[in-house]
Structure 1
Amino acid sequence: MTTFGNVEPYEAPATFEEWLDKRGISQKYAPVFNWSKTELHSEYNALFKDIEESNNSIKILDEEFQNIHETRLEYMEKHGIKQWHELNPAQDSGHLLMKETFFDQIKTTTIELKLLREERRIRGNALPLVVGIILGSYPNYSSIISDEEMTHGMMSTNGSDPMWKLIGPIHNLFWSMYPKLNV
């Protein structure tokens, strides 16, 4: 366990709503501690499904990006192009048009990837909160703050440290959404 000495003292947000904002979690979760088991399980399953779908879409787009990149390199090699900027606009207009096509495809894929990753991040921020409530780690806001106080300024590469078994998933560096809860 490593503790960083130059870290500011921990200061908890005054309200759960402030904490949600700070963590980038939707205010729809403000009443989450009052949700029924059915509501929690439903939200967990929806978040889990959405995150998995995002992961699959990201994987497909990553592969698409790689294919575009490889196709671009193959095109350049096939046509003896070392650098696009070395092409003559008058003589190489067809190649420059292909360059624009490749770059447009790369740009579109990159933008889509960025949006998907942001959507996944937002859903991913809420999942450990919901899991922690389902598992009983977080019966209330103060239990989350207790974990934050305990882990503030700490970093660990030791997943077997007993502390990681005591805290809930939000601040647990070794928590994973897998295996899926059977709820």
Structure 2
Amino acid sequence: MKTLGPIELALRLLRRELTVSLRRRTELANPLFFFLIVCTLFPLGLGPSPQILAELAPGILWIVALLSVLMASDALFKGDFDDGTLEQILLSPVPLYTTVLMKTLAHWLLTGVPLTLLSPLLALMLQMPSEGLGALLLSLGCGSLVLSFIAAIGAALTVGLKRGGVLLSLLVL
């Protein structure tokens, strides 16, 4: 049996996590729909004033992105905990930090990246000036990665609780 190098092992773990996550498409679509719906409803609540929407657009997008990442993070370790895979991961010779890193990276690739790619469209809908779209994309891309890692800490702390989603949100916020 061939021993895998650390990079090959990490890539295989990432591929496994992406494959497992893609089997539950509804869990992936929920944060995106939430992001889209909440950002669409803000102009109805604030009024149609382009100046107000332009001023608040970056904050609105960031807050809704944070809530969307939190919404998806509850399932980060829950499926593995429920079916016993988490215990097998802990007993395996694979370093735990590599597994957690790849699970979190897969979470970001499937939630943070689509949110980031959807944000310019919503920013323009919220009348944000087009000069700020590059900064928004860069900040949301990096920020959603950091939010995924912070959410992974909260998800790990609340994985054994029956209704850990509320506590997870409080811990991360």
TM-score normalised to the size of structure 1? 0.26
Higher RCO (Cα < 8 Å, 6 or more apart)? 1
TM-score normalised to the size of structure 2? 0.27
